[in-house]
């Protein structure tokens, strides 16, 4: 495994959930962490306390080309780029899906990852990597998850394409199953999985650390779903 010691790692979506868990683990591995999200800079002091480590923070919206370009210029060169920004989407039957909300979800999760990676070219180390986030709804079809199914499966294809076009930079995805928000319905549903429960953010974060560090991984999806896709 390549060491993350002193590596500059930009984690977009690192202020909460899975991204915050990646931040904590990457800090412990000796990385120099930069957290970005729409409100990360405003939460700087709280985030430093949460991770107990000196970090940089930037606020920008990945759905905004201008904000993304401006922030990337300030951030400068990085070794690894991790993207865990989560769109607001309410699961609903396809015929009832709010088209505006579905398009906004694409703007954040699909086009956000797309433009961030495109604009960061020239700033990512040739020995470095990109880790995007998809989700199990892209592989296993769950009723009422049409928007996430399409975004996640498009991102999986995008990852394989980028692994070829951006080499030697490695490009991978992590595909989480059910993590959060916890609800009695989701926890009951998860009892059917081989794992018998939903995941913790920390369990999913392990996969990002592995993908950044393993120099022979590229174009792959690491599924951390407790076996949900098998049901
Ligand atoms: N949680 C699950 O069960 C689950 C399951 C499958 C897949 N996933 C995927 O895993 C990833 C992380 O999910 P999570 O549950 O850990 O999310 P989360 O706790 O809601 O955190 C989302 C992060 O994204 C940032 N963010 C949201 N919109 C943004 C935007 N437009 N621009 C920049 N930053 C933005 C948020 O900060 P600000 O509010 O400050 O912007 C926050 O740091 C997402 O891609 C999600 O689709 C999650």
Residue nearest to atom 47 of ligand 1 (CA): 86
Q: What pLDDT was estimated at residue 182?
A: 84
What is the per-residue DSSP string for the chain?
----TT-EEEEETTTSHHHHHHHHHHHHTT-EEEEEETTTGGGHHHHHHHHTS--EEEE--TT-HHHHHHHHHHH--EEEEEE--------B-GGG--HHHHHHHIIIIIHHHHHHHHHTTTTEEEEEEEEEE--GGGTS--TTBHHHHHHHHHHHHHHHHHHHHSTTSEEEEEEE-S-SS--HHHHHHHTTSTTSSPPPHHHHHHHHHHHHH-TT--S-EEEESTTGGG-
Asked if the model's pLDDT at residue 117 lies above 90, the reply is yes
Asked if the model's pLDDT at residue 181 lies above 90, the reply is no
Fold of the domain spanning 8-220: Rossmann fold (3.40.50)
Which has the closest alpha carbon to 151: 107, 97, 99, 202? Answer: 107
Confidence grade of residue 99 (pLDDT, cut at 50, 70, 90): very high
Choosing from 84, 112, 113 the residue with most ligand 1 atoms within 8 A of its CB, the one to mutate for a pocket test is 84
Q: What pLDDT was estimated at residue 185?
A: 87
Task: Report the first-to-last Cα separation within the chain, whole angstroms.
Answer: 33
For ligand 1, say whether the CB of 62 is within 6 Å of any of its atoms: yes
For ligand 1, say whether the CB of 226 is within 6 Å of any of its atoms: no
- Domain residues of the chain, as ranges? 8-220
Residue nearest to atom 36 of ligand 1 (CA): 13
Confidence grade of residue 102 (pLDDT, cut at 50, 70, 90): very high
Give the pLDDT confidence of 61-92 residue by residue, as tens digits: 999 999 999 999 999 999 999 999 999 999 99
Residue 151 Cα, ligand 1 centroid: separation in angstroms?
14
Average predicted confidence (pLDDT) for the chain: 97
User: Cα angle at 58 between 56 and 59, to 5 degrees?
Assistant: 155
**Alpha carbons 101 and 81: distance in angstroms, whole number:** 26
Q: What pLDDT was estimated at residue 90?
A: 92
Asked if the model's pLDDT at residue 137 lies above 90, the reply is yes
Residue 37 Cα, ligand 1 centroid: separation in angstroms?
9
For ligand 1, say whether the CB of 89 is within 6 Å of any of its atoms: no
> 């984690």: which residue's tokens?
11
For ligand 1, say whether the CB of 35 is within 6 Å of any of its atoms: no
For ligand 1, say whether the CB of 138 is within 6 Å of any of its atoms: no
**Alpha carbons 102 and 220: distance in angstroms, whole number:** 26
**Angle of helix 17-28 relative to helix 201-213, nearest 10 degrees?**
50
User: Cα angle at 164 between 31 and 37, to 5 degrees?
Assistant: 40
Task: Compute the Cα dihedral for 76, 32, 48, 202 and give only its sign.
Answer: positive
Give the pLDDT confidence of 14-60 residue by residue, as tens digits: 999 999 999 999 999 999 999 999 999 999 999 999 999 999 999 99
pLDDT over 70, % of the chain: 100
Average pLDDT of span 153-160: 98
β-strands 124-133, 170-176 pairing: parallel
For ligand 1, say whether the CB of 20 is within 6 Å of any of its atoms: no
Residue 29 Cα, ligand 1 centroid: separation in angstroms?
23
């Amino acid at each position: 495994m390549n060491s993350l010691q002193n590596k500059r790692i930009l984690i977009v979506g690192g202020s909460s959930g899975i991204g915050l868990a990646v931040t904590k683990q990457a800090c412990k591995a000796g990385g120099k962490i930069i957290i970005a999200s729409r409100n990360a800079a405003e939460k700087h002091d709280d985030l430093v306390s949460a991770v107990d480590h000196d970090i940089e923070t930037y606020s920008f919206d990945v759905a905004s080309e201008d904000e993304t370009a401006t922030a990337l210029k300030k951030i400068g060169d990085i070794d690894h780029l991790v993207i865990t920004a989560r769109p607001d989407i309410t699961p609903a039957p396809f015929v009832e899906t709010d088209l505006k909300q579905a398009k906004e979800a694409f703007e954040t999760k699909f086009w956000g990852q797309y433009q961030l990676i495109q604009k960061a070219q020239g700033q990512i180390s040739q020995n470095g990597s990109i880790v995007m986030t998809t989700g199990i709804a892209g592989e296993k079809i769950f009723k009422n998850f049409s928007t996430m199914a399409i975004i996640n499966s498009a991102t999986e294809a995008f990852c394989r394409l980028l692994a070829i076009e951006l080499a030697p930079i490695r490009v991978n995805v992590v595909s989480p199953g059910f993590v959060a928000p916890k609800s009695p319905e989701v926890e009951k549903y998860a009892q059917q999985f081989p794992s018998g429960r939903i995941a913790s953010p920390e369990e999913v974060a392990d996969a990002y650390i592995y993908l950044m560090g393993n120099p022979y991984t590229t174009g792959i999806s690491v599924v951390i779903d407790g076996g949900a896709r098998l049901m």
